[in-house]
Amino acid sequence: MELVAYQPDFLLGLYERMVRIREFEDGIKFLFLEGIMPGTIHQCQGQEATAVGVCAALGSDDFITSTFRGHGHALAKGLSVQELLDELFGAATGCCKGKGGSMHVGNMAKGMVPGIAIVAGGIPVAAGMAMAFKMQHSGRVVACFFGDGAVAEGAFHEGVNMAAIWNLPVLFVCENNLYGASTHVSKVMRDTNIARRVAGYGIRGEQADGNDVLAVYEAARAAVEECRAGRGPAFLELLTYRRTGHSRRDPCHYQPQEERAAWAAKDPIDRFAEILKSQAIADDAALEAIKDRVLRQFNAAVENAKRAPLPTLEDLTTEVFA
Amino acid sequence: MTKRLGIAEALREAIAEEIERDPRVFCLGEDIAVPGGWGGAFTVTLGLEQKFPDRMINTPIAELGLFGVACGAAMMGMRPIADVQYGDFLLLATDQIVNNIAKFRYMSGGQITMPLVMRAPVGATGRGSQHAQNLERYFIGVPGLKVVAVSNAYDAKGILKSAVRDDNPVMIFEHKLLYGSKGARVEPGAVDATSEIPAAEYTVPLNRAAVRREGADVTILGWLLMLHYSLQAARQLADEGVGAEVIDVRSLAPLDLETIGASVQKTGRVVIVEEGPKTGSVSAEIAAAVMEHFGEYLRCPVCRVASADVPVPFSPVLENAYRPDVPRIVEAARQVMRF
């Protein structure tokens, strides 16, 4: 792979964001299992490149929609570790004031709608956001993240079809991690090539290696350009793997060992680190320094989150109506 | 200067005026914008696609998708008016309505506003079970939604305008027998719900019931078609010497307990009339609220006149038995007058 086309800062930024997501997810898993953090979590270790690659192709006033597995999307779109952690701790200082929780993290000022935890529920919503952007002639684009499981939902069909008939500036991003909860994609679709099926809606679908952050970025950049030029929507299927359980305490006994090992060998962070080193963008020490910095920031944020103010009982009934 | 309009015409006028007033307002629905078409299932948007071609968005038959699209557009600063051809189809869109539209403001910690109007025709009208239900009951208990029912043309225009200008999602229920549509799509059994509409701009609040007829002996609460039947019953009761106060509940969520309570304190007797099965109904909620807040003023148990707990039947003889009628309302009032 040839990296001369990119600024080193851009590449190291991609790397740092992936590491930030990995350390965040590994760190909160521990906090959760220790019983320090309430609620439930759906994690994305191993899928860092999809979130980071797509969001790197978006502007700060572009939007994303996400799902119950949204921590990575949030960090990639620019939410801070602190506002996210506070939300997971149920604190009033969280990005949704503790009313959303892990499955509904978001920050509208940073271009992320709170996660939509009903499978495929965000697909028509993203089409509607794109309709608003088009009517407002704003030039903005929305990237809509969802998993392979969403493809079986009626909302997928309805939302993608409407975006297609109205040429809306929405980038559909299917993170195909091979499992919907515990069920393998091959059990729920006869043709497991998801990108191919959107030809039926009259739009272009493309598959990309979801564990290669630059491949994701390039595919997303081209798709976002098409959307901004009025040739939307676009559809990307990013091939990746969910190495954690579906949610808390799921030990993944249904994932074959060989399959897990093969995907572990394609770890997006390790792969990108090798590329950065081989092209002399960074050495081991520089990459280690990034990891140390990220970890220090995370640990400091955890200490803050433990002391963050909780909502008051008056907050129970506020913000139901505008 | 006034003019006499039916509900369909009044809604059409309100939509046109709001679209002209505010560039963020647009309509989204099935068969609402086909030149030479119907203007929606009940003519409400007839001709608007000629006047506002960019603001009348005709959708595929995809209720879940279209309410999701409306949700996304509202969230990004537009003010959509989304409708279904028959209220029954709201059930297809319920995920978007209940899980996203109603909840986004709260679960985002107040970051999101959802200025979205949803319109749905309801009522049994000779179409069998799936184009006939009264859906109000399914939405009044959803936190984050405002639910209203319009029973005359004046209210229809004023309430639609208030709903468009409100920063919250508002569900407006309309009755198929009250549209007053003329011509080919006129409904057998239709009731006159026309009003004198002023030339000057006006709005009607979303949270107020309206006393339609004053009386001192019994409070009859109804909305949509049942309000009109209740008024007919009140005229009959007047001949028997019974003074019925008839209230158009209008604001189903939140309930206007101030207006309802003032009447209950005066009469001490309450009859609630509802089209739709009695179990789990809007009238159950109203009855509970009356007992909780004004129980000490009641001279007798609250009485409900509602449909049987069955799907809406087709055969006219069964449908008429399903839908509460004037004699049953009169009889219920006579019952409470025994106390």
Distance in Å, alpha carbon of A99 to nearest chain B alpha carbon: 5
Q: How far apart are CA B89 and CA B82, in angstroms?
A: 12
> Which pLDDT belongs to residue B182?
59
How far is the C-alpha of A133 from the C-alpha of A58, rounded, in Å?
Answer: 14
3 state SS of A300: helix
Q: What pLDDT shows up at residue B70?
A: 98
pLDDT, one tens digit for every residue, chain A (322 residues): 667 789 999 999 999 999 999 999 999 999 998 999 999 999 999 999 999 999 999 999 999 999 999 999 999 999 999 999 999 999 999 999 999 999 999 999 999 999 999 999 999 999 999 999 999 999 999 999 999 999 999 999 999 999 999 999 999 999 999 999 999 999 999 999 999 999 999 999 999 999 999 999 999 999 999 999 999 999 999 999 999 888 877 889 999 999 999 999 999 999 999 999 999 999 999 999 999 999 999 999 999 999 999 999 999 999 999 9
Q: A126, B72: Cβ pair inside 8 Å?
A: yes
Encoded amino acid at A120, one letter: A
What's the CA gap between B330 and B333, in Å, rounded?
5
pLDDT tens per residue across span B23-60? 999 999 999 999 999 999 999 999 999 999 999 999 99
Q: How far is CA B60 from CA A159, A166, A231, A287, B215, in A?
A: 10, 11, 20, 51, 49
Q: How many helices (H) and strands (E) does chain B have?
A: 12, 14
- Based on its alpha-carbon atoms, the radius of gyration of chain B, rounded to whole angstroms, reads 20
Token pair in block for residue A224: 């976002």
Q: Say what the pLDDT of residue B185 is.
A: 60
Write out the residue limits of the CATH 3.40.50.920 domain(s) in chain B. Answer: 210-336
Q: Check residue A31 and give its pLDDT.
A: 94
Distance between first and last Cα of chain A: 51
Q: What is the pLDDT of residues B63-98, one digit of tens each?
A: 999 999 999 999 999 999 999 999 999 999 999 999
What lies within 8 Å, CB to CB, of B119 at 6+ separation is: B11, B44, B81, B82, B83, B84, B160, B172, B174
User: pLDDT digit string (tens) for B155-214?
Assistant: 999 999 999 999 999 999 999 999 986 555 678 889 999 999 999 999 999 999 999 999
Q: In Å, what is the CA distance from B51 to each residue of B23, B47, B73, B83, B273?
A: 14, 7, 22, 19, 40
Partners of A94 on chain B (C-beta within 8 Å) are: 109
Q: Do A161 and B65 touch (CB under 8 A)?
A: yes
pLDDT tens digit string along A229-283?
999 999 999 999 999 888 877 889 999 999 999 999 999 999 999 999 999 999 9
pLDDT average, residue stretch B3-17: 96
pLDDT mean over B312-325 = 97
Active site residue B175: no
**H or E segment and range at residue B275:** strand B270-277
* A:B CB pairs within 8 Å: 146
Minimal Cα distance from A99: which residue of B?
B107
Residues 6+ apart with CB under 8 A from A68: A42, A102, A103, A115, A117
pLDDT for B183 = 56
How many alpha carbons fall within 13 Å on the CB side of residue A119?
Answer: 12
Model ipTM over 0.90: yes
CATH topology of domain B210-336: Rossmann fold (3.40.50)
pLDDT, tens digit, for every residue of B229-277?
Answer: 999 999 999 999 999 999 999 999 999 999 999 999 999 999 999 999 9
Angle at B190 between CA B185 and CA B193, to 5 degrees: 105
CA nearest to B9, candidates B167, B183, B148, B238:
B183
State which amino acid sits at residue B260: I
Q: Which of residues 142-181 of A touch B (CB under 8 A)?
A: 142, 154-155, 157-159, 161-162, 165-166
pLDDT at residue B204 in the model: 98
Contact B65 A132 (CB under 8 A): no
Q: Which two tokens stand for residue A157?
A: 């069909």
- Closest residue, chain A, to B61 (C-alpha): A158
- A window 37-66, beta carbon within 8 A of B: 63
Q: Which CATH class is domain B2-198?
A: alpha beta
Catalytic residue among B131, B275, B285, B319: B131
- Per the annotation, the verdict on B63 as an active-site residue is yes
- In angstroms, rounded to a whole number, what is the distance separating the alpha carbons of residues B16 and B26? 10
What Å distances lie between residue A263 and A255, A271, B95, B302, CA to CA?
Answer: 11, 11, 35, 66
Residue type, B315: S
Check B73 against A131: CB less than 8 A apart: yes
pLDDT of residue A250: 86
pTM: 0.97
CA distance linking residue A5 with residue A37, whole number of Å:
43
Answer whether B65 sits within 8 Å of A114, measured CB to CB. Answer: no
Domain at A37-244+259-266, CATH homologous superfamily: Thiamin diphosphate (ThDP)-binding fold, Pyr/PP domains (3.40.50.970)
Amino acid found at B110: G
Cα B139 to Cα B135: distance, rounded to the nearest angstrom: 7
